[in-house]
Chains A and B, each alone.
Chain A
């Protein structure tokens, strides 16, 4: 089928302004948006720039705004997009655009790194594994699935308007450890999240949950962290 893909192009080496460019491509209904981008880059315009690696939704490289919604290009099939209309593709919002669909990921990773996203323990290391019941393991399963793609954070209106808020992903990253029965860093982590630019900025708009390509219940995780802060226990 013939599809029109309209892409927001930007290259400061060439011009200061971003502009929409429309490309015509022939695709299969089961092709992914990533296939469309590749076809354009490989057959029409080699300067089109985007990140990608795994091509099946596990590495988190290619979150972008497709028809106005954050998604992974490699997990979005053309047939699911109403391909009779033009498909629009633009970079995720709220992070500085560097070229075409490539944004500066450093602020996003900084936010992740700021919540101590690692297991904190004290005392003696056991010689074998730490024991954890199946129920305790299940407690934080959802948030372990995160691939750091930034679809959630860059769909959040608070993140767009407030340069300081660290965004939903950082809370997901913290949740994964706060609710891990083996972890002993909860107090410190909750202190970081309790900051005035922390979890309390969340307005529960559910954009993040809708955007997450891993199906993580982001808003629920944020609510659980808020509750843990109020009652000071998990």
Chain B
């Protein structure tokens, strides 16, 4: 076992983690711990763009962007946070350009901008070109650019280190315990500030655009500490995943003119969102697609998907603006997008919920109190700027704005704080977790349990939910928990034991699936990404509030989930019906 001491420890090297590291390492001694090599992080998969009201191609301002964010989030957005994000968006984009990000350019050589779902001019009048982009690999360019800056600034990385526990003393965050993949050795990091930037948990679903490694470790770790998770029932299903695979085709495809069609070749979005049609917010489009399929207007032999039509676009335009996603269609489905429509179906995409934070990135212990020394940013966090449904391009924005803010806040706190004494045996929990799994002799396999978890989540907690389906999911999760207690890994070694770590990750997924379902069951309304067929209207009287879930252990050692609520911060915008 090795011990280290840093002023700031950042967990995760995606966009949020590296943006935080660039700030914090300028000010204090910083370590970045990441289970993947930084450039493997899933930020690199982001395609479409990052919105900011630069007004490079048409009139725009950040207040309109704020309004769209609040409305898109079905008014569950904390409006103070959305204002901060949309105001700082302009500098966030310009900062990236100065770091070298190769944005697409206008004819005058300025950063080019394009349409994206839910982004409008003057409070919904018409769609507006607000998304800054680099072809359909904006996330790739952001990840590369931030990593390049980290090289320039000599940021210290611990690559392929899995953080598995957070150390707390008297309510303060004081360090983390990490498992080194190459050797199986444990490392104790003592720190004054810890920033979680460990990404989402899309792998609770089977059909997902998320990487295999997006298993919600950061949320799972703080959850096991008894700290709250906010709005976990809100998960975004992106309309256009490649049918059967879940691989994402960016909304940019529709931003550039792509059209969704059913088996009668009808442009069905005209019926669901007459003004913005195919560019309505994701939750609406995803539900419309699922509804077309349910009502028998789906395509393919089983009528299981709808079609994305790009055939009316010029091939040269497709090549210039959508090269990667059209290649995905060719590689994985053998479809030629110049001449053929592409089979698509909603795919689990983005966690709106997560570790509650304030606008400085400080993590919250309850509705009001911050946890000294603990920060979170990016998909792992819930500020909440996305509310019940995130607008496209607002996550790349979120990771840059709040990654930066969390990095600054963590470093500033570290400059004034002292290192705390660590607990007696800080590694104890992780030793038990890891050795327990390594030495287990049960008969269950990790992959089988994970597949069953994902199947029940896809079936019961996806685009359409009911009390019955959610209760079924809970029953299934309960059964999977007992099976997980009887799991065994085959690899008993120390070196690159990915078998063992998949088991650890599955543990996090099961915990988070349960929080999601319990939160969804209690939200007896439909709002944004959470749609209850048995309560199909938004209910502002009873549910205009954030869910706060806590893990509690009673005297007999039973674990229970307690739900509490937190008011939504409203500044300028009063809730109205979300019509497009």
Contacts and interface: CB of A to CB of B under 8 A. Distances in A.
A59 B102 contact: no
A60 B97 contact: no
Given A13-B493, A125-B98, A137 B105 contact: yes
Interface stretch (A18-26, A41-49, A193-201): A41-49
Interface string A22-61: 0000000010000000100111011101111111111111
B102 A137 contact: yes
A131 interface: yes
A119 B495 contact: no
A53 B107 CA distance: 37
A102 B496 contact: yes
Interface stretch (A81-89, A138-146, A217-225): A138-146
Nearest to A134: B105
Interface string B413-452: 0000000000000000000000000000000011110000
A16 interface: no
B100 A46 contact: no
Contact of A118 (B97, B152, B493): B152
A129 B111 contact: yes
B206 to A, nearest CB: 13
Interface string A101-119: 0100100010001001111
A128 interface: yes
Contacts, number: 151
A46 B102 contact: no
A117 B148 contact: yes
Given A61-B40, A131-B108, A180 B331 contact: no
A228 interface: no
A146 B143 CA distance: 12
B490 A46 contact: yes
B149 A59 contact: no
A58 B495 contact: no
B487 to A, nearest CB: 11
Interface in B144-170: 144, 148-149, 151-152
Interface string B484-506: 00000111011111110000000
Given A53-B40, A118-B151, A131-B108, A58 B94 contact: no
B286 to A, nearest CB: 20
B141 A144 contact: yes
Given A55-B212, A119-B100, A131 B110 contact: yes
Contact of A47 (B40, B105, B499): B499
B114 to A, nearest CB: 15
B45 interface: yes
Interface string B92-124: 011001111011111111110000000000000
A49 B140 CA distance: 26
B211 interface: yes
Contacts of B445: 42-43, 46
B212 A53 contact: yes
A51 B100 CA distance: 29
Nearest to A80: B331
A75 interface: yes
Contact of A30 (B94, B97, B332, B495): B332
B499 A41 contact: yes
Contacts of B499: 41, 46-47, 49
Interface residues of A, number: 60
A98 B182 contact: yes
A54 B332 CA distance: 14
Contacts of B491: 46-47, 49
Contacts of A52: 212
A68 interface: no
Contact of A98 (B104, B213, B495): B495
Contacts of A125: 98
A42 B496 CA distance: 16
Contacts of B494: 13
A137 B105 CA distance: 7
A130 B140 contact: no
Given A46-B489, A46-B491, A147-B39, A119 B148 contact: yes
Contacts of B211: 53-55, 59
B287 interface: no
Of the listed residues B102, B152, B497, the one surrounded by the most CB atoms of chain A closer than 10 A to its CB is B102
Given A102-B496, A130-B97, A56 B149 contact: no
- For chain B, which range describes its interface: under 10, 10 to 19, 20 to 34, or 35 or more residues? 35 or more
Contacts of A113: 151
A3 interface: no
A44 to B, nearest CB: 9
B39 A59 contact: yes
Contact of A147 (B42, B44, B110, B151): B44
B580 interface: no
A54 B45 contact: yes
A133 B109 contact: yes
Contacts of B141: 144
Contact of B447 (A43, A57, A132): A43
A183 B328 CA distance: 32
B523 interface: no
A46 B105 CA distance: 48
B243 to A, nearest CB: 12
A218 to B, nearest CB: 17
A182 B182 CA distance: 39
B246 to A, nearest CB: 9
Interface in A151-180: 177, 180
B308 to A, nearest CB: 17
B35 to A, nearest CB: 9
A53 B495 contact: no
Nearest to A105: B37
**A53, A131, A133 — which one has the most chain B CB atoms within 10 A of its CB?**
A53
Nearest to A121: B98
Nearest to A14: B493
Nearest to A117: B148
A191 to B, nearest CB: 17
A75 to B, nearest CB: 6
B441 to A, nearest CB: 14
B207 to A, nearest CB: 13
A99 interface: yes
Contacts of B105: 132-134, 137
Contact of B39 (A50, A75, A134, A148): A148
Contacts of A59: 36, 39-42, 44-45, 211
B328 A56 contact: yes
A77 interface: yes
A145 B137 contact: yes
B477 to A, nearest CB: 20
12 contacts: A13-B495, A14-B493, A49-B497, A49-B499, A56-B247, A59-B44, A60-B40, A98-B495, A99-B496, A118-B148, A129-B111, A133-B109
Given A13-B495, A129-B94, 16 more contacts: A41-B499, A43-B447, A46-B499, A47-B493, A53-B36, A53-B42, A53-B211, A56-B332, A57-B328, A58-B324, A77-B331, A116-B152, A134-B106, A145-B140, A147-B140, A148-B37
Across chains A and B, which 8 residue pairs bring their CB atoms closest together, nearest first? Answer: A119-B100, A46-B490, A42-B447, A131-B109, A118-B148, A46-B499, A47-B491, A118-B152
